[in-house]
Amino acid sequence: MKTWGFNKGLYDLGTGCYAWIQPDGTWGYSNSGLIADGGESLLVDTLYDLPKTQEMLDGYRKVVPAAQNIGTLVNTHSNGDHYFGNQLVHAPRIVASRACAEEMAQRPPSHRAQQLRDWRELGDAGVFFHENLGGKFDLENIELVVPNEVFEKTLSLQVGSKTVELHNVGPAHTGGDTLAWLPKEKVVYTGDIIFADAHPIVWDGPVSNWIKACDQMIAWGAEIVVPGHGPICDLDAVRATKHYFEYLSLAARKRFDAGMSVDEAVADISFDEFRDWLDPERVVVNVHCLYHEFQGIHAAPDFMEMSAKMLHYRNKLKAANVYPHSACHHGHEHCDGQH
Ligand SMILES: [Zn+2]
Ligand SMILES: [Zn+2]
């Protein structure tokens, strides 16, 4: 199996498929994809801010002539690190699942920019935002550019002679999560259904949908997997994600049945087998969401409360010297190793 390495920038996957990768894949450092054929092109996701998106577009355009005029932009889901750069693409067609488009309109970029600007007034949640994003992303003056075409479950698109199937496998990571699958090329762009070498985070659920999405990619026999975050990978990363959720579901259920609180369960569950994965603080949100599922509640977790709790958990791991962080590949000025 080919290993792709993990450097910032463009990867040519062959057969007209490309990826733009941003190490180390932690909070905000997302990937995008480009598919080109017959003078046409389709972009999968933009990046968290305008400078990073412009650099990505320039990178594609240097190598792929068809990227000069991107005909179709697909946003996999509603998190800003996958669509805040939309205004720079000028794609006539912007496609997303209906649920994704609705969430984008509810949480405009200006809201996130304000949280980052006013982080000192937001308690521990603000500290968490600032640690993750402060000085790394410029979220000011981003326009809300939403999809002009939505679909429910599946949509098939043509790029030249290539077929790109969009499959909404959400709600899982968010309310609408799209996989962009090329059956002939056997390439899948997963959005945040796959975080390679990092803990996934459940902002919506149910987790069973996420496991189904993994099974779907395994059944397709995808050969190249471009994750929403982390290095280009293959079905091993998909199997690892499935395993993670099966393991966590069982472990949380046992503790739920024993009457433990979410915090007690998080402290009690062993995450040793995932000790090298980035962003372990996400287990706080994942167990919280599983507990809601066990109680038959379907409600998105409170973002501020969860952010504060993730900060506390991360600080605990740091104090115990077991917080993982990869070597810095960000190539920005502000890296202090505190990923
Ligand atoms: Zn993301
Ligand atoms: Zn996401």
| pLDDT grade for 299, boundaries at 50, 70 and 90 | confident
Q: Is residue 285 part of a domain?
A: no
Provide the token pair at 174.
């968010």
Which ligand is closest in space to the CA of residue 198?
Answer: 1
Strand ranges of the sheet holding 93-97, from the earlier edge strand across to the other edge: 9-14, 17-21, 32-37, 40-44, 72-74, 93-97, 149-151
3 state DSSP class of 32: strand
Confidence class for position 326, pLDDT limits 50, 70, 90 = low
Rounded distance from Cα 201 to ligand 2 centre (Å): 8
Report if residue 262 sits inside a domain: no
The mean pLDDT value for 74-83 works out to 98
pLDDT at 292 over 80: yes
Residue 127 lies in a domain: yes
Question: Where do runs of H (alpha helix) occur along the chain?
Answer: 50-63, 98-106, 109-117, 123-133, 207-220, 235-257, 262-268, 283-294, 303-319
Flag whether 203 is in a domain.
Answer: yes
Q: Which ligand is nearest to the CA of 27?
A: 1
Distance 259 CA to ligand 1 centre (A): 33
User: Whole-angstrom distance between the N-terminal and C-terminal Cα of the chain?
Assistant: 29
Most confident stretch, 106-110, 235-239, 334-338:
235-239
Is residue 339 scored above 80 in pLDDT?
no
**Residue from 24, 19, 47, 5 nearest 332 by CA:** 24
Closest CA to 269 of 289, 259, 255, 286: 255
What is the arithmetic mean of pLDDT over 124-146? 97
- In angstroms, what is the span from residue 13 Cα to ligand 1's centroid? 21
**C-alpha dist (Å) from residue 247 to 69, 111, 269:** 45, 35, 10
**Quick check: is 246 in a domain?**
yes
- Does 297 fall in a domain? no
The CATH number of whichever domain residue 30 belongs to comes to: 3.60.15.10
Considering every ligand atom shown, identify the ligand nearest to the alpha carbon of residue 201 and give its number. 2
**Domain, as residue range, for 219:** 9-250
pLDDT by residue (tens digit) across 207-246?
A: 999 999 999 999 999 999 999 999 999 999 999 999 999 9
Expressed in angstroms and rounded, the spacing between residue 175 Cα and the centre of ligand 1 is: 14
Mean pLDDT, rounded, of the chain: 95
Q: Is the pLDDT of residue 329 over 80?
A: no
The predicted model gives 185-209 an average pLDDT of 97
pLDDT reported for residue 298: 84
**Over 50: is that where the pLDDT of 334 sits?**
no
Average pLDDT over residues 279-303: 94
**What is the value of pTM for the model shown?**
0.95
Rounded average pLDDT over 11-38: 98
What does the pLDDT read at residue 330? 45
Backbone CA torsion sign across 107, 113, 118, 122: positive
Q: Would 280 be classed as within a structural domain?
A: no
The Å distance, Cα 192 to ligand 2 centre, comes to 5
Q: How far is the CA of 258 from the centre of ligand 2 (A)?
A: 32
pLDDT at 23: 97
Residue 155 lies in a domain: yes
Count of domains forming the chain = 1
Average pLDDT over residues 182-205: 97
Nearest ligand (C-alpha, residue 29)? 1
For residue 331, pLDDT beyond 90: no
pLDDT per residue as tens digits for the range 198-217: 999 999 999 999 999 999 99
CA of 173 to the centre of ligand 2 (A): 7
Residue 1: pLDDT band by 50, 70, 90 thresholds? low
Separation of alpha carbons 193 and 170, rounded Å: 9
Peptide bond into 24 cis (omega under 30): yes
